[in-house]
Amino acid sequence: MSSPSLAYISSISRLFKSTTLTKGLVTELLAENDWKNVLSILKERNFIEDIPATFDDAEIEIKRRAIDQIYKILNFSSSVKSAHDIVDLYYYYLTLDEFKSIIAGIYNKSRPSKIVFLSKISESNPTTIEELRSIIRGTIYSNALEYALSKNPRNLSQLESLLDFYFIDKLSSIIDTFKGDWKAAAEAIICGYKDYYSASLAIRQKIVIPLTCKILPDTIRDLQSSKMEEVANILRRTQYSRNIELGDAYSALYSLYRLARIEARKASIYAFMGSPFTPVTALAISELIKLDMEDLIMIINGLKIKMNKEAIKSRLSLEII
């Protein structure tokens, strides 16, 4: 990788970082009681172009901004393969819900609705997995589908979980090719996700793929063979025990995911403080864009259902005192 190419992708990443959420803006948004007022502020700050009339449309607009940004970075990163592959995985992640809806439509013999970002695939109207394979051949969706199918899923739920897992598995494989400070900085961003996805897959689907960071592979195998009421006690043996809720399996998993998001945001911001010539900045900005999207949707959804403000804060990746 040449220094000019790395400098270019780093400068592009830093440019997009200037448009990410700040604690000040999130505090301002949380001061509102009406989710539509939040949209007005976001329009003033150029986060969205128009003020949607419905919550569903608002969610699409926030998601569209994130996907558009990722797509632009994807085009800018073509000269650095590792950076390009990382950003492509984030594009996959942000559009995965629609891809899973298309697959669910095939399984359930129904036409998925509200496909906005993968309309070309949906409009081809695949009715079998083989037809879908033909339509998506040569894309990241094809790679993900083949990965999931190679694990011999027994049902749609397992297939969808494996499509989720592909994101972190492939991302980890790319980062494994890094060395030294690059690898350490990138690993810090995805560490919690590796543990969460592996634990979630073992608990919910009884599938063991021990791709972990702080959790031991043996612990993942224990989670796979455990009953739901035993999950909290097993997670109590991990390094996360003091920082996650251990009342039941689902609250433990949710808090583990939230902790992974908090640590990913911190590590992503820190990545911009190191070497100016590194593909890790492409990973960091992609993660920040994803986290911003998720946090904004959580804020407007929380306000819409009249959730307590402290409860909303407790679900964000950006920590607000």
Alpha-carbon gap, residue 148 to 266, rounded angstroms: 31
Alpha-carbon gap, residue 77 to 85, rounded angstroms: 9
Structural domain boundaries of the chain? 1-79+277-316, 94-166, 178-275
**Residue 134 to residues 21, 142, 285, 286: CA-CA distances in angstroms?**
39, 9, 32, 29
Give the pLDDT score at 84: 95
**Residue 81 to residues 67, 180, 279, 284, 301: CA-CA distances in angstroms?**
20, 18, 9, 16, 37
Is pLDDT at 103 greater than 70 in this prediction?
Answer: yes
Q: Which amino acid is at 262?
A: I
Closest to 192 in 3D by CA, of 268, 259, 250, 245: 259
Neighbours of 130 (CB within 10 A): 10
| Sign of the alpha-carbon torsion through 197, 198, 202, 205 | positive
Is pLDDT at 4 greater than 70 in this prediction?
Answer: yes
pTM score of the predicted model:
0.96
Confidence of residue 1 (pLDDT cuts 50, 70, 90): low
Give the pLDDT score at 188: 97
**Residue 192 to residues 26, 49, 314: CA-CA distances in angstroms?**
23, 34, 17
Domain at 1-79+277-316, CATH homologous superfamily:
ATP synthase (C/AC39) subunit, domain 3 (1.10.132.50)
